[in-house]
């Protein structure tokens, strides 16, 4: 049997008090090292949690961070209160399976902290002695020590407001563009100013190091600046820069050690250090902000090239981009400041012609699914002729296809190809075909003309696909699909399949991870601070080497199945991985006297009997008594809709309300009903809404038939064992227990 399968699913080992999975070997840093601290609530080891960003896993010395701003390796050494062991409860959501014995104390112990400690903002005290259990190793953390930073001088704050000709604040993706134009004009008029001592937070605040900006105060009037708008047209913008607040004294950071020790009586608090950390972080990000295509808080993304490192296709016109995340954190060790540098991933629309986007999207439309059924895994785009057929007005499902397309392209940003200055539009809805969609041509005596004839007369362009719908923008502007390109923009909503691809591409080995971090660190357009003029002007110096920390690999806990069979670290080939021999469960549970089998797959009743017989034999080896199912029901999922099957099963469960355990063999995954069969059946059987409260074990049809990859005539006992691991815990059994010293 494949040993790594044991901890998966519901078949995890339990302790004698409640269910716990045997943990893999942990890496615990020693407590005498430099521990990163922070005074914000962002994680120091992972990228900030954005909508669809997937940060890469890192090895750090801290896994949690209270809002007070201080990380901790150890917890309080207060002894845990004595509690009565809790009797294991039934798995699943069945309300008919009650506890064998009611627990004496209904409260679980989830922490050693007292109520006063839990509510306190004080940092738990580290133990004086280092841990000795486990193997001593060295780990590399994605932190770069700040070897030099300004610890004296003043930082002046200014508020910048940028409004367009409609007196509306412009979008954040264009603020830096207008800011740079203003800064160039301002520094040209005040040559004594060092522009590298001026940094912008990409929102509304400007920080200046040791030099107040001349001619700018709290009442400064605005000035007009010509800058391109979202349509790439040069328009007037009003920029107002005014002094904001008192200057921030960087000398406060000299008292860092005194401030973070709460026992010292100081008028300064850790929160007073937050502005300094934020200012220095903005100074480190100023250079890379000028080269980034998209900026989200402390995450930076640059435009990539398709099919090259840094971009992966996710389907439906979307792609995964790899960027980076960077922030400063405080540290109570040899280095007071550390820079956390990490990879970050986000989903963006692919920059491509709209027709290419159209072919990708229509593969998943109702017509596309019917036309390419069974081939969708190998086909990534619909043929162009098929798209013309799907979106033909004579197609009976034309309106369904149009609604599907509008759902995926509404509010999509596109760039026109026909103008001398390409203009960016936002799709509002879909119009008629270019050959039939009319509008009023105001410059030619309010002439009514079709979109096809307009491009032929005005631009001399003959459309290749006039039967395709037009893209309607606001103010009744129409563009042919073949003359626009999709603009890259951040995407928040993705499918489950795309999320799975994100996890696949964002998970990398430690070697690749370290190499990627070093590439970011050495890239002049990202985080190569040795070539950054802003870092030099702010008197900062960042180490080129990542932090190396001592750590320990904790030994594997002892897994107890029976008195005769224990799994220890001495008996396994790889630490944390073991093979479960044909032995009894720690506490085997018996199948109920009345249980049923529901077959939604294509296998016949005789094959289901063979499956039960083999499952019963393995259950006997595990100490479980598996009687024959009293109820067997078979439903044809090919010719019946899922809601029909659910309705029949609902009546069936009401007639057999004494049956509280079912094994359900699911239909083939490629069928239409299979996607929601699992969800709907679970909801029907286990939720209290319908008052059935039955425990279920869902099984894929491939796991219920004989055959392995090597031999089609042998049962896959590893799969049968894994099924029993889940069933045993659902029936109130215990697979294995952790031996507690």
> pLDDT tens-digit profile of 25-50?
444 444 444 444 443 433 333 433 33
Minimum mean pLDDT range among 123-127, 148-152, 310-314:
123-127
pLDDT score for 135: 85
Q: For residue 498, give the nearest of 679, 676, 669, 347 by alpha carbon.
A: 347
SS3 state of residue 641: coil
Minimum mean pLDDT range among 147-156, 255-264, 453-462:
255-264
Confidence of residue 76 (pLDDT cuts 50, 70, 90): very low
| Mean pLDDT in residue range 410-426 | 81
Q: Is 245 left (phi over 0), alpha (psi -120 to 50) or beta?
A: left
pLDDT score for 46: 41
pLDDT score for 64: 38
pLDDT score for 373: 74
> pLDDT tens-digit profile of 504-531?
988 989 999 999 999 999 988 899 999 9
Mean pLDDT of the chain: 79
| Mean pLDDT in residue range 255-263 | 74
pLDDT score for 660: 81
- Return the HEC string of 644-688: HHHHHHHHHHHHCCCCCEEEEECCCCCCCCHHHHHHHHHHHHHCH
| Phi/psi of residue 159, nearest 5 degrees | -105, 130
Of 160-174, 553-567, 714-728, which one has max mean pLDDT? Answer: 714-728
Higher pLDDT, 257 or 40: 257
What is the pTM assigned to this prediction?
A: 0.69
> pLDDT tens-digit profile of 655-681?
777 788 889 888 876 555 556 667 777
pLDDT at 69 over 60: no
Cβ–Cβ < 8 Å for 230, 180: no
Q: Is 369 left (phi over 0), alpha (psi -120 to 50) or beta?
A: alpha
| Phi/psi of residue 371, nearest 5 degrees | -70, -40
Token pair listed for 722: 């894994």
H/E stretch holding 137 reads strand 135-141
**Counting beta carbons within 10 angstroms of the beta carbon of residue 117, is it exposed (0 to 12), middle (13 to 18) or buried (19 or more)?**
middle
């Amino acid at each position: 049997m494949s040993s790594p399968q044991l901890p998966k699913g519901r078949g995890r080992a339990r302790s004698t008090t409640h269910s716990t999975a045997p943990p893999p070997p942990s890496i615990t840093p020693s407590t005498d090292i430099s521990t990163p601290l922070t005074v914000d609530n962002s994680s120091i080891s992972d990228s900030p949690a954005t909508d669809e960003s997937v940060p890469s896993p890192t090895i750090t010395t801290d896994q949690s961070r209270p809002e007070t701003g201080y990380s901790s390796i150890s917890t309080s050494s207060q002894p845990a209160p004595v509690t009565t062991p809790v009797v294991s409860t039934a798995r699943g959501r069945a309300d008919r399976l009650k506890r064998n014995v009611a627990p004496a104390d209904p409260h679980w112990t989830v922490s050693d902290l007292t109520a006063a400690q839990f509510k306190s903002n004080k940092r738990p005290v580290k133990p004086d002695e280092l841990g000795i259990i486990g193997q001593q190793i060295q780990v590399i953390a994605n932190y770069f020590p700040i070897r030099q930073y300004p610890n004296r001088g003043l930082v002046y704050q200014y508020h910048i407001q940028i409004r367009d000709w409609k007196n509306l604040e412009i979008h954040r993706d264009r603020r830096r563009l207008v800011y740079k134009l203003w800064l160039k004009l301002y520094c040209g008029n005040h040559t004594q100013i060092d522009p590298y001592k001026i940094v912008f937070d990409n929102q509304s605040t400007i920080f200046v190091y040791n030099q107040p900006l001349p001619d700018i105060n709290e009442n400064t009037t605005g000035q007009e600046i010509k800058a391109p708008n979202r349509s790439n047209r040069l328009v007037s913008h009003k920029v107002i820069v005014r002094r904001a607040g008192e200057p921030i004294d960087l000398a406060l950071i000299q008292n860092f050690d005194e401030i973070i020790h709460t026992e010292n009586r100081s008028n300064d608090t850790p929160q007073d250090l937050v502005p300094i950390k934020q200012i220095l972080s903005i100074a480190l990000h100023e250079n890379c902000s000028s080269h980034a295509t998209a900026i989200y808080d402390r995450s930076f993304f640059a435009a990539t090239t398709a099919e090259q490192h840094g971009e992966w296709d996710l389907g439906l016109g979307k792609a995964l981009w790899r960027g980076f995340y960077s922030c400063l954190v405080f540290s109570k060790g040899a280095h007071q400041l550390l820079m956390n540098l990490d990879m970050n991933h986000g989903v963006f629309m692919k920059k491509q012609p709209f027709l290419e986007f159209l072919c990708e999207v229509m593969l998943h439309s109702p017509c596309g699914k019917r036309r390419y059924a069974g081939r969708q895994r190998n086909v990534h785009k619909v043929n162009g002729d098929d798209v013309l057929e799907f979106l033909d007005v004579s197609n009976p499902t034309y309106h369904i296809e149009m609604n599907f397309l509008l759902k995926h392209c509404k509010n999509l940003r596109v760039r026109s190809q026909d103008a001398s200055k390409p203009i960016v539009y936002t799709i509002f809805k879909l119009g008629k075909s270019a050959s039939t969609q009319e509008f009023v041509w105001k410059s030619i005596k309010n002439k009514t003309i079709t979109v096809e004839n307009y491009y032929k007369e005005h631009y001399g362009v003959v459309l290749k696909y006039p039967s395709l719908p037009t893209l309607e923008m606001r103010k009744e502007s129409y563009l042919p699909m073949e003359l626009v390109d999709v603009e890259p923009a951040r995407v928040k909503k993705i499918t489950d399949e795309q999320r799975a691809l994100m996890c696949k591409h964002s998970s990398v080995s430690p070697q690749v991870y370290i190499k990627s971090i070093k590439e970011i660190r050495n890239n002049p357009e990202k985080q190569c601070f040795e070539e950054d003029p802003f870092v030099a002007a702010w008197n900062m110096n960042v180490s080129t080497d990542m932090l190396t920390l001592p750590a320990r690999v904790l030994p594997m806990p002892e897994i107890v199945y029976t008195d005769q069979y224990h799994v220890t670290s001495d008996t396994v080939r790889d630490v944390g991985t073991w093979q479960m021999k044909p032995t009894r469960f720690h506490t085997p549970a018996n199948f109920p006297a009345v249980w049923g089998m529901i077959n939604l797959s294509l296998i016949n009743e005789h094959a289901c009997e063979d499956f039960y017989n083999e499952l019963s034999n393995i259950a006997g080896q595990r100490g479980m008594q598996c009687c024959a199912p009293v109820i067997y029901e078979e439903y044809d999922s090919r010719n019946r809709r899922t809601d029909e099957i659910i309705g029949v099963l609902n009546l069936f469960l009401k007639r057999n309300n004494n049956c509280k355990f079912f094994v359900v063999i699911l239909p083939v995954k490629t069928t239409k009903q299979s996607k929601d069969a699992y969800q709907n059946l679970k909801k029907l059987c286990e939720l209290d809404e319908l008052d059935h409260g039955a425990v279920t074990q869902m099984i894929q049809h491939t796991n219920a038939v004989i055959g392995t990859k090597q031999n089609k005539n042998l049962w896959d006992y590893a799969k049968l064992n894994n099924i029993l691991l889940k069933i045993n815990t659902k029936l109130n059994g215990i697979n294995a227990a952790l031996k507690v010293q």
